[in-house]
A and B are shown apart, each in its own frame.
Chain A
Amino acid sequence: MSDARSHILQRLRAVGRAEESELARPVASHPWSREEKLQRFTECMSAVRADVHLTNEREWCNDLQQILMTKGARNLVYAPATPHGQILQSGLSSGDIELIPYDQEIEQWKSRLFDETDASITSCHGAIAETGSLILWPDETEPRLLSLVPPVHCVLLQADQIYSTFAEAVENQGWAEDIPTNALLISGPSKSADIAQVLAYGVHGPKSLVVLVLR
């Protein structure tokens, strides 16, 4: 099909265009304080029925356990090679919640991940206050499907990692220079309004999104 390529490019190149001046690319941001950013983030998340819990490094494990029990989760998929994974292994005291490590390729355990898991936990790469979005950069240790398949997705967010806008995060984190295989913004639980414009949650992805903000 290289013919198609050269034909298309040839047709496009045949069109003479005046050289455009370089596009101005200002980085949109808001002058919000840390507290204001956290507040805005929480408001946006709550508006789409995500739960935001304020906690800290010492207590998040207990808080998580409480939340999972309220939601009736019997197990939790996690990434064992992450720092929070290590903490979970020793910190999750209740035997009621089984820890399931995501430590093999998806092909080895697809049906178990889809059919038997109740909840998952991931870290994140920061968040965006303006739209109430979590930034996830899944990688070798924290696979992509951790944040998609289990019905409850819990996320650990450092309070000082909230940017005011997406543009600010892209700029400050240098995305253009070092973009991962997969980068995601997650702004609430899965939802759809495809049936009669009525909003329904939990279509294909998680029905519930829980953010644990570490202060």
Chain B
Amino acid sequence: MSGEFHDGVVKALSNEALRGHLRRAMDSLIEKRLAVFPDSDELESLRHRCMGIRANALSKLPDLLVHLEARCEEQGIRVHWAETTAEANSIVLEILRSHRVERLVKGKSMVSEEMGLNHALEAEGIECLESDLGEFIIQLAGETPSHIVMPALHKSKQEIAELFHEKFPDIPYSDDVDELTAVARGILREKFMQADAGLSGVNFLVAETGTLCLVENEGNGRMSTTVPPLHIAVTGIEKVVERLTDVPPLLSLLTRSATGQPITTYFNMINGPRQPGEKDGPQEVHLVLLDNGRSRIFADEELQATLRCIRCGACINHCPVYTRLGGHAYGTVYPGPIGSILEPQKEGLERLGELAEASTLCGACGEVCPVRIPIPKLLNRLRWEGVRHDGSGETAGQGKRRKQSQALAWKGWSTLASHPALYRTAVKSASRFRRLLPQQLGPWTHVRKAPEIAEKPLRELAEEEGFSHE
């Protein structure tokens, strides 16, 4: 492990309170999900169908995007395309400037986290306020989300109470969840009223009807997309589905997989700005489609499955590594198993390839994934891409994790294992000279003893016992 990730891991593992808190939170999410899928046949047939819906959409991705754009424009939604996050930020900034926006209120959007949008806009003097309760909390704390569905999952009730008390000293201290929620409600309702623009993410885009679908429980997404005169939605190019009838099964699987809810409080389908005669809704709606490495992921037939993801977070909730580390240790926008396949591809294997190694390959993520992304298989694939040196393949940073010493060791092993006489000699000498072998084996022996080599190899013991050669 390299510096940044290693430090994050050490820090997370030494935080006993965080570990206990995460364990309880994950256990409860796992239980809730189980309870809402009582019929495993129904679950499997729904997973099969939703995998098909997402795979079908990806198989027609360029055509669907063009169709979506045409339908949106017909309905008055302006569509923008961005290759990079910097481009996406400048598109948003330009729209906001042309409307003289000073205050922006945000619904939850992981793509805006990916863009680093808040920083980009604040540097230009635009107030950017997160309105999802979890996002609001971490924005107050100056932190980043530790989970893609529950961004403030790492914070205890007491920590949030202290944070509110520090930031809003006029409001009496309380660690009652209802009271804390009421405080946030009061502050944010004012902000919704005053905001010049609202920004949101998108859960599904429907090509057939030009629809932006938003899934939420709080109502902040509806506030952000309905109250201010301008609404900007930012999302990845992979979020599109072909038909409106693809939405009900996906929605059902998304909310049940994510939080164990049969459905969220609000499912909001936006088809355009305020029409003549309508009394509310934004006057303008813009949709920013972000690539940021997705088209490159798309190019590899196997890795393309990464783009089926509907961001439910089930893989995260079931991951033994995430449960011990939490989201911050990963140092990326998307943590957990999905982050460990998505981020190295987005940011390059050179920088984040080691995330593909932050897995025990236990398989839980692949088993719960609602769209059956073979995450363990893709983790393995990315490990290989990191050391591959045949020059083909699309993944950024391919071969950058290859180390001469490791390559030599594997080569040596391969030679030994394919030459029986050589192998026998090596094993025999290892047991004869076992006391001369090093006891310190780098990080392995920091927390473990070096493996003890037996006095005699198995082959010799077997021969002594009278087993014949073959």
Residue of chain A at shortest CB distance from B82: A4
Check B277 for interface membership: any CB of A closer than 8 A. Answer: yes
Produce 1/0 per residue, A170-183, CB < 8 A to B. Answer: 11000110011111
Contact B298 A200 (CB under 8 A): no
Produce 1/0 per residue, A2-39, CB < 8 A to B. Answer: 10110111011111011110011101100000000000
Residue of chain A at shortest CB distance from B158: A196
Give the number of chain B interface residues (Cβ < 8 Å).
93
Q: For chain A residues 185-210, which have a beta carbon within 8 Å of chain B?
A: 185-198, 200, 202-206
Contact A205 B262 (CB under 8 A): no
Contact of A182 among B80, B87, B268, B296 (CB under 8 A): B268
Check A44 for interface membership: any CB of B closer than 8 A. Answer: yes
Give the number of chain A interface residues (Cβ < 8 Å).
75
Check A144 for interface membership: any CB of B closer than 8 A. Answer: yes
Contact of A203 among B56, B157, B160, B184 (CB under 8 A): B184
Residue of chain A at shortest CB distance from B133: A194
Check B132 for interface membership: any CB of A closer than 8 A. Answer: yes
Q: Say yes or no: A140-B83 contact (C-beta < 8 A), given A148-B222, A190-B217.
A: no
Q: B residues within 8 A CB of A187?
A: 262-267
Q: Name which of B111-119, B188-196, B323-331, B351-359 contacts chain A.
A: B188-196
Cα A72 to Cα B105 with chains together (Å): 31
User: In the complex, how many residue pairs between chain A and chain B have their CB atoms under 8 Å apart?
Assistant: 238
Contact B185 A23 (CB under 8 A): no
Contact B218 A204 (CB under 8 A): yes
Contact of B193 among A12, A103, A114, A171 (CB under 8 A): A114
Produce 1/0 per residue, B285-321, CB < 8 A to A. Answer: 0000101000110110000000000000000000000
Produce 1/0 per residue, B229-273, CB < 8 A to A. Answer: 100000001000011111111011000000100111111111111
Q: Say yes or no: A192-B133 contact (C-beta < 8 A), given A148-B222, A179-B211, A184-B269.
A: yes
Q: A residues within 8 A CB of B65?
A: 8-9, 12
Q: B residues within 8 A CB of A130?
A: 262
Contact of A12 among B151, B247, B275, B295 (CB under 8 A): B295
Contact A195 B152 (CB under 8 A): yes
Residue of chain A at shortest CB distance from B224: A204
**Which residues of B are in contact with A by a Cβ distance under 8 Å?**
25, 28-29, 52-53, 55-56, 59-62, 65-66, 75, 80-83, 87, 91, 131-134, 137, 150-153, 155-157, 160, 177-178, 180-182, 184-185, 188-189, 192-193, 208-209, 211, 217-220, 222-223, 226-227, 229, 237, 242-249, 251-252, 259, 262-275, 277-281, 289, 291, 295-296, 298-299
8 shortest A-B CB distances, which residue pairs?
A205-B219, A194-B134, A204-B219, A185-B267, A5-B81, A11-B295, A131-B263, A106-B280
Known A-B contacts: A184-B267, A204-B189. Give 6 more (CB < 8 A): A12-B298, A114-B193, A143-B281, A165-B248, A179-B244, A205-B223
